[in-house]
Amino acid sequence: MKIGVVTFPGSNCDRDTLDAFASLGVAVRDVWYQDTNLGDLDGAVLPGGFSYGDYLRSGALAAKAPVMGAIRQQIAERALPVLGICNGFQLLTEAGLLPGGLRPNRQGEFRCDWQMLRVTASSPLFPGIEAGTLLRLPIAHGEGSYYVEHGTLGALFTAGEAWLQYVDERGDLHPMANPNGSVANLAGVTRGPVAALMPHPERAMSQALGSEDGRRLLVAWIQGVDGRKSHAG
């Protein structure tokens, strides 16, 4: 198995993400934003950061990069698993690969803190992480308020694509647990082989750093990638 982590101009979590996957014993390589040859990859990760300085909107310019055309093609041709983290989430919505969009935080400020999350719906993209699972992960974003129209929101929940929500320390869902004003407290969504979340699992790989729930999440995603690869083979 080989995972690719894409670097865009302005990415600042690409090295952390590469190191996180390497620490899990996975073959991983850096993918430059101008690369279009992704045939050796079993999965691709769009990391956090400020691609193109977040000009226009976060992820808007990166969505037009050559690598995104290749990723779109690989998704269409062989359902390539793709994971977007923070800026990667923004980018995937700008590219139309996930519904909705990310707006500036409700408070008008950059939020950097630990956050409790609850898995809303189990997903084959993350085998072994069942609905109701609580995760403690850090957030670091200025435009993390997920928005989608009301009709689409209901469809997301019905389809099990509303995957991750912000909750309080007890796992309860309420507005005060929402750090950015996301509709329905949503922190992550999925569609087909594509998944994204605003929190940073690559920053929660060890209890010494505050949590190892990021490791748990990435291990599950790797297992999902491996399962899809084995099924395809």
* Residues in contact with 75: Cβ distance below 8 Å, sequence separation at least 6, in sequence order: 82, 97, 192, 193, 194
- Provide the pLDDT confidence category of residue 233 given band limits of 50, 70 and 90: low
The Cα–Cα gap between 45 and 87 comes to: 11
Mean pLDDT for 27-33 is: 98
- 232 has pLDDT over 70: no
Structurally, how many domains does the chain consist of?
1
Mean pLDDT for 197-224 is: 97
Average pLDDT, the chain: 96
- Provide the pLDDT confidence category of residue 56 given band limits of 50, 70 and 90: confident
pLDDT at 144: 97
- 19 has pLDDT over 80: yes
Mean pLDDT for 196-220 is: 97
The Cα–Cα gap between 184 and 194 comes to: 20
Q: Tokens in use for 106?
A: 């409700």
What percent of the chain clears pLDDT 90, i.e. is strictly above it? 94
What residues make up the domain containing 11? 2-232
Question: Length of the chain, please?
Answer: 233
3-class state of residue 20 by DSSP: helix
- 55 has pLDDT over 60: yes
The Cα–Cα gap between 69 and 34 comes to: 10
- Provide the pLDDT confidence category of residue 231 given band limits of 50, 70 and 90: low
Nearest to 8 by CA among 76, 42, 54: 54
Q: Where residue 164 sits, what CATH number does that domain have?
A: 3.40.50.880
Longest dimension (CA), the chain: 48
- Provide the pLDDT confidence category of residue 204 given band limits of 50, 70 and 90: very high
pLDDT at 32: 98
Distances (CA, A) of 66 to 59, 83, 116, 156, 213: 14, 18, 35, 29, 33
- 183 has pLDDT over 80: yes
Name the amino acid, one letter, at 117. Answer: L
Mean pLDDT for 142-171 is: 96
Buried/exposed 72-108: b ≥16 CB within 10 Å, e otherwise: bebbeeeebbbbbbbbbbbbbbbbebbbbbbbbbeee
The Cα–Cα gap between 201 and 138 comes to: 7
Which residues sit opposite 7 in a β-bridge?
32
Mean pLDDT for 17-36 is: 98
pTM of the predicted model as reported, rounded to 2 decimal places? 0.97
pLDDT at 113: 96
Q: Tell which wins on pLDDT, 150 or 200.
A: 200
- Provide the pLDDT confidence category of residue 51 given band limits of 50, 70 and 90: very high
Q: Tokens in use for 61?
A: 């310019």
- 229 has pLDDT over 90: no
Instruction: Work out the angle between the directed axes of helices 14-23 and 213-232 (0-180°, nearest 10).
Output: 70
Residues catalogued as catalytic:
86, 200, 202
